[in-house]
Structure 1
Amino acid sequence: MKNSVEQDERIAKMTFASVYPHYIIKIEKKGRTREELQEVISWLTGFDIREIEALIASKATFEEIFSQAKVPSSASLITGVICGYRVEDILNPLTQKVRYLDKLVDELAKGRKMEKIIRKDVGRS
Structure 2
Amino acid sequence: MKCWVCFRQAKGFGHVDLRFKVGHPKRYPIDWIFCSLRCQACFHRLYAVGVRYLEREGQLPTGADVIDPSDAELTAMQQCLKPLGEAASEIGMDRALSSYTQQEALALINAVVTTYVEAMVQEHERSKYPPVRMQLDAPPMN
Bigger relative CO (Cα 8 Å, ≥ 6 apart) = 1
TM-score tier, shorter chain, comes to under 0.3
- Select the structure of larger CA radius of gyration: 2
- In proportion to residue count, which structure has more helix? 1
